[in-house]
Amino acid sequence: MDSINNPTNHQTQINQAGGEKLSEGDCLFCKIANQEIPAKVVFEDDQLVAIEDIEPVAPVHILLIPKSHLTSLNDITEEDIGLLGHIQLTAAAVAKQLNVAEEGYRLLCNCGPAGGQAVMHVHYHLLGGRDLGWPPG
């Protein structure tokens, strides 16, 4: 139960994914969404949960995680358009809540191992609180 608060355990679970598709029962983010693993929640509704990242790369680093399991953006269908729009609207609301909307923030979604996706469950990173620069990476 402490794995989300322990970066070593969190990284082990990510490494075990190794870019392979995990079952929903094995998915770290499904467990967080189902409240099986504790997290610092900043927003939650019936479609998604937004949590503080345990290894932030910016002063504000929030993960927006759909409660339904989608492995990557490659699995998105037209049925998911409403969810994707909801993520965008929620990200804007959370950015306002955390006082980074006016100054600016970055919202990104990594897809696949080469794209930087470490947890094989669609999720978006909301980054803010400092100059993020361009290009990333």
Burial of 101 (0-12, 13-18, 19+ CB in 10 A): middle
Fold of 3-128: HIT family, subunit A (3.30.428)
18-42: pLDDT as tens digits:
444 445 678 999 999 999 999 999 9
Tell me what pLDDT residue 2 has: 34
Supply the residues annotated as catalytic.
123
The answer to whether the CB of 64 falls within 8 A of the CB of 33 is: no
User: Smallest Cα–Cα separation from 79: which of 62, 65, 66?
Assistant: 66
What does 47-116 look like in DSSP terms, one character per residue? SEEEEE-SS-SSSEEEEEEESS---SGGG--GGGHHHHHHHHHHHHHHHHHTT-TTT-EEEE---SGGGT
103-125: pLDDT as tens digits:
999 999 999 999 999 999 999 99
| Cα-based distances in Å from 81 to 11, 65, 107 | 31, 15, 17
The residue extents of the domains of the chain are 3-128
The model's pTM is: 0.82
The Cα 95–Cα 117 span in angstroms is 22
